[in-house]
Amino acid sequence: MLLEAQDLHAGYGEMEILHGVSMTLDEGELVTIIGPNGAGKSTLVKAMFGLIRVSGGRILFRGTDITARPPRELVIMGLGYVPQTNNTFPTLTILENLEMGAITRRISPLPLPWVRRGDARSRARMMNDGQIRKRAIETIKMFPNLEPKLREPAGALSGGEQQMVALAKSMMLDPEILLIDEPSAGLAPKLVDAVFSKIVEINERGTGIVIIEQNAKKALAIADRGYVLETGRNRFTGTGEGLLHNADVGRLYLGGAA
């Protein structure tokens, strides 16, 4: 089991949004989480990524409890997160965005006393600035249309291109798990297909992926398994195909019977 959430309770301030959600992600799997607005989909990934306080339940990564660990540690452990909007640094160039993606593995050229060196395993994976740049150029090859724009600020790109930059940025470290929050938000249908095919491509390289989606049909079509959330609780669970053809799910969330 790569990632597991057990009976998760979480929310903002005093307002609890998740009332006990559970889910699992296996090695190399692509799981999608769908549900109506306010069901707590985004809250679920944010809670898993340590961005909001978890009030109950726990999260396991390869059997290790990672509940309430700060995001930086999770990134070092091998998790990645792509937020829904504002997922690039607009004043940084694409290249700089990618460099930021690898910042947790950067070796400082200066022997600064306060730089934490980490354990032996993470030390072995550290990169110096040249290696990071090489890695960025390699990563960007997955997204050919971004290559000529490497030195343009990310804020000047279109929505679809920004989504690609965000994906590329999180691919810099080859994470074992990628949590993606609504990759299709605000994109034209054609671009949505492009983004989704990129996600499948990343998944085929062996990264376990969790996608949060409003666009349930498309997400279920590419997913191995799916979870349907409603008002902060699990409602349906099944394979992507199965949920896509489930009459109840179809009536409730997919806009008419499938």
Partner 1 sequence: MGLRRFRSRQTDHGRHTGTGSVVGGASEVAALGASTHRAIPGATRAGGSRRSRRVIVAAIGLTVLYGIRGFANFAYGDIATLGGYVALVLTFGGISLVLGAIITFLLLAAFGVFLEFAIFSRLEGRGVVAPLVASVGVGLIIQNGIRAVAGTQKWLYPVTLGQDFVIVPGLGIHPIRGILTLSVGVILVVAAHVLLKYTNLGKAMRATADNLELAKATGIDTRRVTYAAWAVSCSFASIAGVLLGLGSALSPTVGFESLLLIFAAVIVGGIGSPYGAMLGGLLVGMSQEMSVPVLVWLERPDVLGLQFGANYKVAVPFIILILVLIFRPWGIAGRKPVFAPRAFFLERITRSLRERPVSSEAVAADREAGKS
Chain contacts with partner 1 (rule: CB under 8 A): 49, 51, 70-72, 75-76, 81, 83, 86-92, 96, 99-101, 103-104, 106, 108, 114, 129, 155-156, 169
User: Minimum CB separation from partner 1 for residue 202, in Å?
Assistant: 17
Nearer Cβ to partner 1 (129/138): 129
DSSP one-letter code for 105: G
Q: Strand pairing of 30-34 and 225-230?
A: parallel
How far is the CA of 133 from the CAs of 97, 106, 170, 172, 193, in angstroms? 11, 11, 15, 10, 29
Secondary structure of 37-99 in HEC code, one letter for each residue: CCCCHHHHHHHHCCCCCEEEEEEEECCEECCCCCHHHHHHHCEEEECCCCCCCCCCEHHHHHH
The whole-angstrom separation of Cα 70 and Cα 68 is 6
User: Minimum CB separation from partner 1 for residue 123, in Å?
Assistant: 16
Structure tokens at 249: 């799910």
User: Minimum CB separation from partner 1 for residue 119, in Å?
Assistant: 16
Nearer Cβ to partner 1 (106/235): 106
The whole-angstrom separation of Cα 5 and Cα 164 is 28
Nearer Cβ to partner 1 (91/231): 91
User: Minimum CB separation from partner 1 for residue 105, in Å?
Assistant: 9
How far is the CA of 68 from the CAs of 84, 200, 218, in angstroms? 21, 29, 32
Angle at 71 (CA atoms; ends 89, 64), nearest 5 degrees: 150
Sheet architecture: strand order including 15-25: 15-25, 3-12, 54-61, 64-65
Nearer Cβ to partner 1 (123/251): 123
User: Minimum CB separation from partner 1 for residue 86, in Å?
Assistant: 6
User: Minimum CB separation from partner 1 for residue 180, in Å?
Assistant: 12
The whole-angstrom separation of Cα 60 and Cα 192 is 31
User: Minimum CB separation from partner 1 for residue 166, in Å?
Assistant: 9
Nearer Cβ to partner 1 (72/141): 72
The whole-angstrom separation of Cα 47 and Cα 36 is 18
Nearer Cβ to partner 1 (93/246): 93
Nearer Cβ to partner 1 (92/142): 92
